[in-house]
Amino acid sequence: MTDSIIKTLGAGSGIDTTNLISQLVAIERAPTEERLDRREARLEAQISGYGLLKSSLDGLKGSLTALSGSDLFNARTVAVPNSDVITANAVQTGAQTGTYQIEVLEVASAQSLVMASQSERDTALGKSGELTIRFGEWSYDINDEPETFAINDQRAALSIDIETTDSLDAIAAKINAEDAGVQASVLKVESSYQLMLTSPSGKSNALEITGDDASLDDLGFSAGAVGAGVTETQQAQDAQIKVNGLAVSRESNDIDDVIQGFDFTLNKASPGETVSFSITSDKSLAEQAVRDFVTAYNSYHETAENLVGYSRDENNDLVRGDLAGDSSARTLISRLREMIGAAVPGVGSGFSALTNIGIRTELDGSLSISEDEFSSAIDENFGLVEHLFASNTSSANSAVSVNMGSYAGAATGGTYEVEITQDPTQGAIQGNAITASFATPLDTSSGDYSFKIQVNGVESALIQLTGTYATPDELRADLQALINGDENLKAGFAEVDVAYDAGSNSFSFVSREYGSVSEVSFSQASGDMATLGVETALTGTAGMDVAGKVEGVEGFGTGDLLLPDIDSPIYGLNLSVGSGASAQGAFEINFSRGFAGELSRLIDGFLSSSGTVKMREDSIQSQLDDLDEDRAELDRRMEAYQERLVIQYTAMERIVSSFQTTGGQLEGLVDRLPYTAKG
C-alpha cells in the first residue's frame, strides 16, 4: 500500500493507516519469527558442531592407521657400506636382524642360444610344426660341450606353433608372447640376421629346444642335436655367494630370500672381498606413533568436551557448547572414552590395556604418558606393545593358520575352540605299472606316446612325448613340465604334480587344487602310453573339502579353507587347513583386532552412512527443512492478517468520511431557520 487510505478516499481520519498496518503486522510476526530464528541458529550450530566432531574423529582415526598393522612394529634399519660388489635395494619390515658378511664368488648368468643366419629378418622361413622349449640343466663334457639335459619340472614347457609364413621376427614375437622369461630377439650380424634366445638366469633354467617336424631341425638344441643349427654363446650359471661363511647359490643376481626381508643385487664376482653390514630393529617409529596417538586423542577430547559442555571465551565468559544437551553426541563420546580405558578383546595375557604401557586417563578425561613405564615397555616388552595395538591371529594347531577375510571387520576378538573333522585332499590318479624298458634310453619319438589329461574339469590339448629318457624320473619330470605347459590347462589354472614310485614302478598324477573340484583323469591315451601305465580306463580319486567345527558349530569347507558359520562371532575369518590337522584334535585359535583396530572400528561405526553422526545430521537437516515450511506458513498467515487489517481500516475510513460529509451539510443550518423570537 503506497498511498494512504485517506488520500485514496479524499477524506478521512487523518491517520497513516498504511504505516499502522505494517507495524501491527510486524508486531504480530515478531514472536514467532524470533522463535524460528533462534531454532534455526541452534540447529545450524549443531550441524557445525557435528562437522567439528567428525573432523576430530577423522584425525584420531588417522593416528591409528599405522598402529593397526604389524609393519610399524617390525621396522628395520640397515647401513650397507658403499661397494661396487653388491647393491642394497630394500630392507622390508620384519627383516631378520643380525650382522652379516657377504662374499660374492660368482654372479648368475643366463644361457644364450643363437640360431643359424638368415638373409632377411621379415621373410617367411618355410618352416612348420610345433617347437617345444623345455627348461632344465645342461651337463657338459670335458670339452665344455653340452652333453645331457635334466628337465626342471618346476617350470612348464613352452609349445610354439610355427607356420610356413613365419619369419624370424614372427617366431621371436611368438616366443616373447608366452611371457615365460625367455627373451627372443633378432640381431643383425654384419649383413645377415640371427635369432637369439636368452633363458632366465640360473643353471636349472637353461633351454632344450625340439621340434616335431624336420623343417625345425636347425632351430633345435637337444642332446642329440647340439650344434646342428644352434650355437650356445653363453652358459647358464647360478650365483655363488657366502653369507657369514655359509655357501649359498641362487638362480638370479637379485636376491631377496637369503637374509629374510633384505633385498640386494650382485654386481660382480669378487672372491676374497666381504661386504659387512647390520640389520637392526627400529623401535623409534612405533614409539612416536603411540605418542602421536595420545596427542591426537587429547586434541579430539578437547574438541568434544567443548562441544558438549561449557568453555571460556577470550573474555573469560562462559560459552555453552553447540552440542550441549545432545544425547547422541554425549553417548558417542562416552562410548569412545570407555574403550580407551577397557581391555582389548582377544589380547589375552601380556599387555591388554593402555594402562599397561603407562598411558593414563587424567581426571579431566585427557591422556598422559608415564615416561618411565612407557620407556620400559618399549625397551623390554616391545612384542607385547605390538600385540596391544596391532591385529594378530594365532592357532594352536600347526597345520592350521588363521586368515582375515574381506568381512573380518565384523569378527569379534577372542579365543575360540576349533575341531577339524576332515582334512582337505587333492584329486589324484594312480597309473599302472610301467612295462616299458629303460635298460637303454627310452626313445619316445619312434612311437606314438600321446594323451589328453583332464585336471579339475579342464581338458588339455593332445600332449605328445618326443624325448629320450634314461630313467623313469627323467620321464616324470618331462611329463610334469609338458602337462603344466599345456595352454588349455594354463588358461584354466589347472596344474599337477607327477610323482614316480619305484616300489610300484608307476606314475601318479596329483592336482595342485584341494577340495571336491579337484580331480584328474585321462580322456585319451595312445597304445604306447599303456606301456607307461597310462590308460583311459584308470579311475582317479576326487579331492575332498575340509570339514570342521568352530565353537561346536559346523563350518563351511571349500577346498582347504574352512569358513565359520555366518552367525559365528568370528565370521569374516577363515582357516587354511593342511594335511594332518584332524589328527591334532580340538584346539584353540585366537583373534585380536588390537587396540588400534578396535578403536578404528568404533569410529568407523560412528561415521558410517548408518552411524550416529550421519543419523543426527540427517535429523537436524530435516528439522531445518521443516523450519522453511514454518516460515512459509508464517508468511501466509501474515499476508492474511494484513489483508484483514486493510479491510477493517478501509471500512473505518469510509465511516469517518461519511461523518465528515454529513457534518458539512449541517453547517449553517441554524442560521437558516426562521426567527421565532426577537430580542
Residue 8, pLDDT above cutoff 50: no
CA distance 210 to 151: 13
The residue that leads in pLDDT, 664 or 240, is: 240
Short-list 510, 508, 473, 529, CA closest to 153: 473
- The three grid cell numbers given for residue 353, joined into one nine-digit string: 590395556
pLDDT at 175: 95
- The three grid cell numbers given for residue 648, joined into one nine-digit string: 477493517
Residue 670, pLDDT above cutoff 80: no
The count of C-alpha atoms lying within 13 angstroms of the C-alpha of 408, restricted to the half-sphere facing its C-beta, is: 18
136, 255 contact by CB (below 8 A): no
For residue 504, give Cα distances in angstroms to 277, 434, 435, 438: 52, 9, 11, 15
Task: Pick the range with the lowest mean pLDDT from 228-237, 360-369, 517-526, 546-555.
Answer: 228-237
Please, which residues bridge with residue 449 across strands? Answer: 465
pLDDT at 679: 47
131, 209 contact by CB (below 8 A): yes
Q: What is the 3-state secondary structure (H, E, C) of 454-517?
A: EECCEECCCEEECCEECCHHHHHHHHHHHHHCCHHHHHCCCCEEEEEECCCCEEEEEEEEECCC
pLDDT at 493: 95
Residue 116, pLDDT above cutoff 70: yes
Backbone dihedral angles phi then psi of residue 136, each to the nearest 5 degrees: 175, -160
Task: Pick the range with the lowest mean pLDDT from 214-228, 365-379, 401-415, 456-470.
Answer: 214-228
Backbone dihedral angles phi then psi of residue 552, each to the nearest 5 degrees: 80, 0
pLDDT at 4: 47
- The three grid cell numbers given for residue 520, joined into one nine-digit string: 584328474
CA distance 237 to 394: 41
pLDDT at 554: 95
Residue 186, pLDDT above cutoff 50: yes
Residue type, 433: A
pLDDT at 145: 86
Backbone dihedral angles phi then psi of residue 403, each to the nearest 5 degrees: -120, 150
pLDDT, average across residues 300-309: 91
- The three grid cell numbers given for residue 256, joined into one nine-digit string: 631377496
Q: Strand 561-563: give its sheet, edge to edge.
A: 400-404, 573-577, 561-563, 556-558
Look at strands 367-369 and 359-361 and give their pairing: antiparallel
pLDDT at 676: 52
Over residues 492-515, the pLDDT tens digits come to: 999 999 999 999 999 999 999 999
What confidence tier does 7 reach under pLDDT thresholds 50, 70, 90? Answer: very low
Instruction: Return the CATH fold of 426-530.
Output: Immunoglobulin-like (2.60.40)
Model pTM score: 0.75
Residue 12, pLDDT above cutoff 70: no
The residue that leads in pLDDT, 673 or 468, is: 468
Burial of 662 per CB tally in 10 Å (0-12, 13-18, 19+): exposed
pLDDT, average across residues 69-88: 89
- The three grid cell numbers given for residue 652, joined into one nine-digit string: 473505518
Look at strands 556-558 and 561-563 and give their pairing: antiparallel
pLDDT, average across residues 596-607: 93
- The three grid cell numbers given for residue 78, joined into one nine-digit string: 640397515
CA distance 18 to 649: 9
Backbone dihedral angles phi then psi of residue 495, each to the nearest 5 degrees: -135, 160
pLDDT at 226: 66
Residues above pLDDT 90, as percent of the chain: 66
89, 287 contact by CB (below 8 A): no
Cα 254–chain centre separation: 26
The count of C-alpha atoms lying within 13 angstroms of the C-alpha of 154, restricted to the half-sphere facing its C-beta, is: 4
Backbone dihedral angles phi then psi of residue 530, each to the nearest 5 degrees: -65, -30
Residue 395, pLDDT above cutoff 50: yes
What is the DSSP secondary structure assignment for residue 353, as one 8-state letter? S
What confidence tier does 228 reach under pLDDT thresholds 50, 70, 90? Answer: low
Residue 675, pLDDT above cutoff 60: no
pLDDT at 333: 92
Over residues 629-648, the pLDDT tens digits come to: 888 888 888 888 888 888 88
Instruction: Return the CATH fold of 110-237.
Output: Alpha-Beta Plaits (3.30.70)
Over residues 619-628, the pLDDT tens digits come to: 888 888 888 8
Look at strands 76-79 and 520-525 and give their pairing: unpaired
The residue that leads in pLDDT, 590 or 26, is: 590
Mean per-residue pLDDT over the chain, rounded: 90
Non-local CB neighbours of 414 within 8 Å, separated by 6+ positions: 345, 346, 569, 570, 590, 591
For residue 632, give Cα distances in angstroms to 426, 457, 515: 74, 71, 68
Task: Pick the range with the lowest mean pLDDT from 151-160, 344-353, 454-463.
Answer: 344-353
Beta strands in 346-475 (DSSP E): 359-361, 367-369, 392-395, 400-404, 414-422, 426-430, 442-443, 449-455, 458-459, 463-465, 468-469
